[in-house]
């Protein structure tokens, strides 16, 4: 397979079934829509995007391609420790969840590179790009949407 500087050219030229999107967040909607319209399955890194209008358009595109597989990259659902917590919750061993506190323990030594990446790219930064994991876990654990969020 060749290397490309333009994702559209790659999708148009190569005989591929699926596309894996691991670009900065701001490009996710555009790239997903292009791949779907080229009849490709899509795995897209989280989150869906930065702008709700673009995300809404992306969701409409997904619905217009019901035979295409789309997966959003929430890998924590496949981590054994998170799966174990999910089983405990689903088995009713801790009762109804009414409050969840989530926090990251990313090393402070990486903070400068995180900030630089968010500033230099079309990214949601560490809060949007990483906090989405916590929101996904809350939804997965509780089968419900968060009611209130504090940062």
pLDDT band for position 70 (50/70/90)? very high
Give the pLDDT mean for 82-104. 90
Distance CA 151, CA 148 (A): 10
User: Which run of H or E residues covers position 78?
Assistant: none
Distance of CA 129 to CAs 17, 63, 139, Å? 27, 24, 17
pLDDT band for position 107 (50/70/90)? low
Q: Which residue has the higher pLDDT, 101 or 16?
A: 16
Q: Tell me how far apart the terminal alpha carbons of the chain are, to the nearest angstrom.
A: 44
Cβ within 8 Å of residue 126, ≥6 positions away: 106, 111, 114, 115, 118
Half-sphere exposure of 128 (CA within 13 A, CB side): 17
* Other beta carbons within 10 Å of 47: 21
pTM of the model: 0.78
Which pair of structure tokens corresponds to residue 81? Answer: 């420790």
């Amino acid at each position: 397979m060749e290397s490309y500087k333009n994702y559209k050219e790659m999708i148009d030229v190569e005989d591929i079934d699926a596309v894996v999107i691991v670009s900065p967040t701001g490009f996710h909607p555009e790239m997903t829509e292009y791949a779907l319209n080229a009849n490709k399955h899509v795995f897209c890194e989280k989150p869906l995007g930065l702008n709700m209008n673009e995300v809404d358009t992306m969701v409409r595109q997904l619905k217009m391609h019901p035979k295409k597989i789309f997966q959003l990259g929430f890998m924590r659902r496949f981590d054994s420790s998170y799966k174990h917590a999910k089983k405990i919750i689903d088995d009713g061993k801790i009762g109804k969840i009414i409050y969840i506190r989530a926090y990251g323990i990313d090393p402070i030594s990486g903070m400068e590179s995180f900030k630089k990446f968010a500033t230099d790219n079309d990214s949601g930064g560490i809060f949007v790009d990483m906090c989405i994991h916590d929101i996904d876990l809350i939804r997965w654990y509780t089968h419900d949407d968060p009611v209130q969020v504090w940062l």
